[in-house]
Amino acid sequence: MHGPHPCAWAPLNDALYRQYHDEEWGVPERDDRALFEKLVLDGFQAGLSWRTILYKRDNFRRAFDGFSPEKLARYTPKKIEKLLADDGIIRSRLKIEGAVSNARAFLSVMEARSDGFSGLLWGFVGGKPIVNRVENYKKVAPKTKESEAMARELKRLGFKFCGPVIIYAFMQATGMVNDHEIACARWKAVQKKGLETRD
């Protein structure tokens, strides 16, 4: 779904990136497992471009057992060494170990909260998307008070690679914040999705 002036950050000559912009980015996500996967992938993005991660996403899903938190939480040092030899993913020991730590933290949250991981995260935006009026994506602040608060709480709960800048990118991607440019057709489209997915 291309608007007359789609967001400039997703180039028209990159089909996969455009598809991500047109179908995923900014759509409110409330599924616990999907949010967990996206948080882990955003952690791997640290210091890299999202395009790099996007083109390796299927490899990550294969290597990390479909991002099953139950399986990830039980990864052994031997499994981590195997992942470090997998050139289909980002081979960073700290990030791989962080993903394992995040799976354990996720399971703890799910056990402790009746509203799950989704309820924890969406609570930082009052349960509904923050709708911004972005004219140029380059002018968007890299973090906000909401992303700082979420990052602090996630770190307290044992999550890794979840600083406020990473978390703001995560919030944008999962529709907690609508930062599509207002000239982009997706700006209005994801707002409709937000209304459809509210409890």
Residue 129 lies in a domain: yes
Residue 10 lies in a domain: no
Count structural domains, the chain.
1
Residue 3 lies in a domain: no
pLDDT of residue 6: 78
Residue 126 lies in a domain: yes
Residue 2 lies in a domain: no
Q: Residue 37 belongs to what domain range?
A: 15-197
pLDDT of residue 133: 95
DSSP-assigned letters across all residues of the chain: ---SS--TTS-TT-HHHHHHHHHTTT-----HHHHHHHHHHHHHHTTS-HHHHHHHHHHHHHHTGGG-HHHHTT--HHHHHHHHT-TTS---HHHHHHHHHHHHHHHHHHHH-TTHHHHHHHGGGTTS-EE--BS-GGGS-S--HHHHHHHHHHHHTT--S--HHHHHHHHHHTTSEE-SBTTSHHHHHHHHHHHHH--
User: What band does 10 get if pLDDT is binned at 50, 70 and 90?
Assistant: confident
pLDDT of residue 2: 43
Over residues 29-39, mean pLDDT = 98
pLDDT of residue 11: 85
Over residues 61-67, mean pLDDT = 98
Percent of the chain's residues with pLDDT above 90: 90
Over residues 27-41, mean pLDDT = 98
Q: What is the CATH number of the domain that holds 86?
A: 1.10.340.30
Residue 9 lies in a domain: no
Q: What is the mean pLDDT of the chain?
A: 94
Tell me the pLDDT tens digit for each residue of 112-128: 999 999 999 999 999 99
User: What band does 198 get if pLDDT is binned at 50, 70 and 90?
Assistant: very low
Residue 4 lies in a domain: no
Tell me the pLDDT tens digit for each residue of 104-162: 999 999 999 999 999 999 999 999 999 999 999 999 999 999 999 999 999 999 999 99
Tell me the pLDDT tens digit for each residue of 157-190: 999 999 999 999 999 999 999 999 999 999 999 9
Sign of CA dihedral 112, 117, 118, 121: positive
> Residues 192-197: contacts with CB within 8 Å, 24+ apart?
193/27, 193/28, 194/28, 194/128, 194/129, 194/131, 197/28, 197/30
Pairing label, strands 177-178, 130-131: parallel
Residue 91 lies in a domain: yes
Residue 21 clears pLDDT 80, i.e. is over it: yes
pLDDT of residue 166: 97
pLDDT of residue 167: 98
